[in-house]
Amino acid sequence: MSKITAAITAVGAYVPDYVLSNDILATMVDTNDEWITSRTGIKERRILKEEGKGSSFLGIKAAEDLIAKKNLDPKEIDMVIFATATPDLPVAATAAYAASEIGAVNAFSYDLQAACSSFLYGMSTAASYIEAGRYKKVLLIGADKMSSIIDYTDRTTCIIFGDGGGAALFEPNEEGLGLQDEYLRTDGVGRQFLKIEAGGSILPPTEETVANRQHFVQQDGKSVFKYAVSNMADASTKIMERNNITGDDVDWLVAHQANKRIIDATANRMNLDEKKVLMNIHRYGNTTSATLPLLLSDYEKQLKKGDNIVFASFGGGFTWGSIFLKWAYNS
């Protein structure tokens, strides 16, 4: 029998209609378009404005896009993983609600949280279930409503993040396509540099924590940038070395969209032509768990069967890593 690998066989995406441009942000905090663009590469980001709608809404829309394009019967989905740093509610898994809403009535589901690396880690998890032969169709959703945890008076964070959702379907493959290798890492030192102080079990919500704005994302930008540049580049080059491939062999880099300078540094370490670097940070900003599937969806028509793709991500915790995958279909 041929070895079973886990291949991506369909993708979907969704972003909200409202566009928060750099010029609009400049009316809210002390910043400007040139400052934001030169430091991050971001020109605009999408924001989910409707009341009562959270990350599940973004993820469900992305999943429905995938289901429609694939002409997939949702009853055939065995499992749903919802990668997110901004679940709808504590305790009640966002995945369970999303699975029910899309009609995946035969699937079990759960949330996966690894900050900006959530989708990357979810790829590893989905592939493991497929390779084990337990399930045939695993739907991985990555979605975050980052605007729900961003302080729009803090220019160190509000310029970076946006809202969005993406999805990928994993299925068995016997042609040697799909996920080839992974290199995933964590380091708890990151807890002090990128966090939300209140709302968890250490510091539950109080009137004081709300007044002190401790329920919003806080980051030490310089420290996060330093760790992200070195670790994302290290992981990407290591995955190449382990699989005996060079920059010439890599067709595409699908990197987490946090900062254009971090992406450029990773591509440079990999000796990649800039034409091979997928980029949409200028349109969406950092959508956390949604960045990787949004890239796949935006560039789907350019991806060809057999293409060598390196995925790379870095997130709070710290969490980071790289995955080497061979693309399984022509759009």
Q: Which residue matches tokens 């990197």?
A: 255
Would you state the structure tokens that stand for residue 288, as one six-digit string? 């956390």
d(CA 7, CA 140): 12
How many helices (H) and strands (E) in the chain?
Answer: 11, 13
Where does residue 138 rank: exposed (0-12), middle (13-18), buried (19+ CB within 10 A)? buried
Helix 118-131 to helix 291-298 angle (10° resolution) is 80
Let me know if 116 is a catalytic residue. Answer: yes
Q: Which of 116, 173, 231, 259 is catalytic?
A: 116
Let me know if 256 is a catalytic residue. Answer: yes
d(CA 160, CA 36): 9
Question: How does 78-111 read in b/e, with b if 16+ C-beta sit within 10 Å?
Answer: bbbbbbbbbbbeeeebbbbbbbeebebeebebeb
Would you state the structure tokens that stand for residue 218, as one six-digit string? 């806080």
Q: Which of 22, 231, 256, 259 is catalytic?
A: 256
Assign residue 205 a region: left if phi > 0, alpha if psi is -120 to 50, beta otherwise?
beta
Let me know if 286 is a catalytic residue. Answer: yes
Q: Which residue matches tokens 């290591």?
A: 238
If we measure between CA atoms, which residue out of 163, 299, 151, 309 comes closest to residue 236?
A: 309
Length of the chain: 331
Q: Catalytic residue numbers? A: 116, 256, 286
